[in-house]
Structure 1
Amino acid sequence: MAVAHIILVKVKPTVSESQAHDILKAVAHLKEELPGVIESVHLGVNFAARAKGFTHGFTMVFKDKAALETYDKSPEHIRVVTEVIRPNIEDLIAFDYEIEDYSSPRL
């Protein structure tokens, strides 16, 4: 079953918009660095007033939990997290779930 991996981040106030954009580019590039592991990447800048200070986010879709685990343990992912994301953020929320089909008539 497909898995969604959602990350929301609060960038530090000292991080420029260009630097924040570089974080998103590094995340998007992981799909190319890990061919066959990440099915899709969607990312962007928050515009909602109710985001509780979270400024940027991304969603990745994986074929299954095993693909997410491969991604999570990959040197490419670990490098982006330790060198690009963590030094530039104040907080992060991660939310993973199996994508269910709740379309009619299953509801």
Structure 2
Amino acid sequence: MVLAHTILLKIKPSLSEDQAHDILKAVAALKDQLPGVVESVHLGANFSARSKGYTHAFTMIFKDRAALETYEKAPEHVKVVQEIIRPNIDDLLCVDYDIIDYSNPRM
């Protein structure tokens, strides 16, 4: 089953928007660094007033849980988290879920 891996970030206020964009670019690059593991990446800066301080977000789509597990253990992913994300955020929230498409009627 296809699944989504969604991360909400509270980027440190001391970072510029260009620096925050560089963090997201590093996340997006993981798709090309891990071919066949990450199906797609969707990311951007928050504009909702209801974000509870989360400033940026990304969602990665994986074909199954095995692909997500491969991604989580990949040295490329670990490096981005340890060297680029963690030093530049105040908080992070992760939600992983199986994608169920209710837009099509079920018979």
Question: What is the TM-score with the length of structure 1 in the denominator?
Answer: 0.96
Superposed CA RMSD in Å reads 1.1
Q: CA deviation at 1:105?
A: 2.2
The one-letter code sitting in structure 1 at the alignment partner of 2:61 is V
Q: CA deviation at 1:68?
A: 0.2
Within a 5 Å distance, the mapping from 1:38-49 to structure 2 comes to 38-49=38-49
Gaps of 5+ in 1: none
Matched, 1:81 2:81: yes
The one-letter code sitting in structure 2 at the alignment partner of 1:99 is I
**Structure 1: 4+ residue segments shifted above 6 A:** none
Within a 5 Å distance, the mapping from 1:8-87 to structure 2 comes to 8-87=8-87
The Cα offsets for residues 21-75 of structure 1, whole Å up to 9 and x where unpaired, read as 1000000000000000000000000000000000000000000000000000000
Gaps of 5+ in 2: none
Structure 1 Cα separation of the partners of residues 103 and 14 of structure 2: 44
Q: CA deviation at 1:103?
A: 2.8
SS in 2 for 1:92: strand
